Structure 1
């Protein structure tokens, strides 16, 4: 007997392995998945400009990165004793304007290099709702607690999202024609927008994205991972949510990662993942008697495992 519905997932045509270079961009769920890549020691970079939720803001950042358009003084502003940019997350904000500009431009330079070398780009879209700063008539990635009256709130149409995603892909393919795209929709519900409004927002993302993915131009280098569908259908129980009842908890993240790794990571990498997992668990082990001979032998054996793995894959560091 089956007591739950399971989402069918197609195996990737271009699976990720330990030689792959992965760049992850998007919502907070992108960071949940990236933490798994980090744990298993894949070559992975995540959200160099912080968490970004909407497709247009992601496109704007990739436009800067691909063309190496540096941030200038006109692109930052002072509010609540810190300098900010409307194009990036507040995690990058700084009390010193010059330091902020240096941080942003370093992120452009490094991301440009990573994008040229990347084998896979994972983009996680969170919402179709955007805020537009009225003074500049520009869509922002983050409002930085600037008073709400200075913004208008809008829902991106399916057509605008489709064009934005296509523009993003074209920009990136100009820089790196061989890159593989993996798209997903964040399972986190943006209830501050309203329950009905959240569903509408997600539906616009789905419609735009699947319209692109079924096109012959894009489907050879693009795949879709159903993280939203897994959360809503396979894990449709509040025991899989954090206390806010909106974000997936660790059990849910582990389960979604399991399905992702079974379908998007090469079979040849599974044994290495198991080795890494054993080492990670051993490193977290705390001995009752650190000076004992038994513990010293344990540490020596652990170091041998780390050295053997390092010989096979020099980029892996613990």
Structure 2
């Protein structure tokens, strides 16, 4: 008997190669996929604004990169002795206003350069709910633990999401004529909004994405949401909060992502990288034994061969570890 509903994940037409420049933006699920791409030696710039959840904030961040925007000190605000930006994740925040501003603008500059030359833009949408400051109505990308009473929450209408992403992409395609865009919808369940509200939010995001994917030739969709919700479909694949997919689920999605979205030759490089990383993580019973030294020499030889075959990739950390 079959106790799971599996479905085929169609491979993309163009696929991601190690030589491609990739920019990822979006929710914490984008961080999971992006960190795995980085680990497997893909050329990645991950979340230049930090984690962003709603499509309007993501679209606005992309527009700021296209405008080569630099933030000024008066665009920061002070809360509990910490300086923040409403457009950025709290990983940019700090007690030194100038240092916060420098981190933000360094990231803006890197993102502006990357977006103009990117082969792939990967956007992960988390929620269709957005938060607005009551005092002036501005959209916020992160609430920074400011009390809820300071904000108004709104389910962004479908046409507003489509318009924001559509306008951003038209500008992007004018500047970067080669970029492909891959959309995913995060399988993280935003139950803080309410279970019914979360499902409505995901439905709006899915409808918006599929509308856009059918409108443009260079837009694609990877079904991360469906792999967790319809294929795995079990709370044992979630962390204790019953909201975030656990490591097993993330690895399952990653394996499908590799097969569907990554060029076969790069899949093979990624497989060899995994082998070397596992070897690096191996804890020997006796580090001074001849057997362990032979093991290190064998792994160093594999790392050197991989580096020679892929001179544009950096395996220096692995070579240093195995040769030390």
Interval of TM-score (by shorter of Structure 1 and Structure 2): over 0.9
Runs of 4+ in 1 over 6 A off after TM superposition: none
SS of the aligned residue for 1:246 comes to: coil
Q: Is the 8 A contact 1:309 1:316 kept in 2?
A: no
Q: Partner of 1:51 in structure 2?
A: 51
- Where do 1:51-90 residues align within 5 Å? 51-90=51-90
Q: Partner of 2:113 in structure 1?
A: 113
Q: Partner of 1:298 in structure 2?
A: 295
Q: Partner of 1:157 in structure 2?
A: 157
Paired with 2:261 and 2:193, the residues of 1 have a C-alpha distance of: 32
SS of the aligned residue for 1:2 comes to: coil
Paired with 2:269 and 2:208, the residues of 1 have a C-alpha distance of: 37
**How far does residue 5 in structure 1 lie from its aligned partner after superposition?**
1.3
- Where do 1:278-317 residues align within 5 Å? 278-314=275-311, 315-317=313-315
- Where do 1:161-172 residues align within 5 Å? 161-172=161-172
Q: Partner of 1:255 in structure 2?
A: 252
Q: Is the 8 A contact 2:28 2:51 kept in 1?
A: yes
Deviations 1:114-158 (A, max 9, x none): 112221111000001111012221110011112222211111000
Deviations 1:254-305 (A, max 9, x none): 1111111111111122221221111111111111211222222221221121
Q: Is the 8 A contact 2:31 2:46 kept in 1?
A: yes
Q: Is the 8 A contact 2:212 2:219 kept in 1?
A: no
Matched, 1:237 2:239: no
**How far does residue 176 in structure 1 lie from its aligned partner after superposition?**
1.3
The answer for unaligned runs of 5 or more in structure 1 is none
Q: RMSD value over aligned CA atoms?
A: 1.3
Paired with 1:7 and 1:124, the residues of 2 have a C-alpha distance of: 21
Paired residue total? 315
The answer for unaligned runs of 5 or more in structure 2 is 318-324
**How far does residue 102 in structure 1 lie from its aligned partner after superposition?**
0.7
Q: Is the 8 A contact 1:130 1:154 kept in 2?
A: yes
Q: Partner of 1:26 in structure 2?
A: 26
Matched, 1:104 2:104: yes
Paired with 2:302 and 2:223, the residues of 1 have a C-alpha distance of: 35
Q: TM-score, normalised by structure 1?
A: 0.96
- Where do 1:7-18 residues align within 5 Å? 7-18=7-18
Paired with 1:166 and 1:97, the residues of 2 have a C-alpha distance of: 34
Paired with 1:257 and 1:14, the residues of 2 have a C-alpha distance of: 18
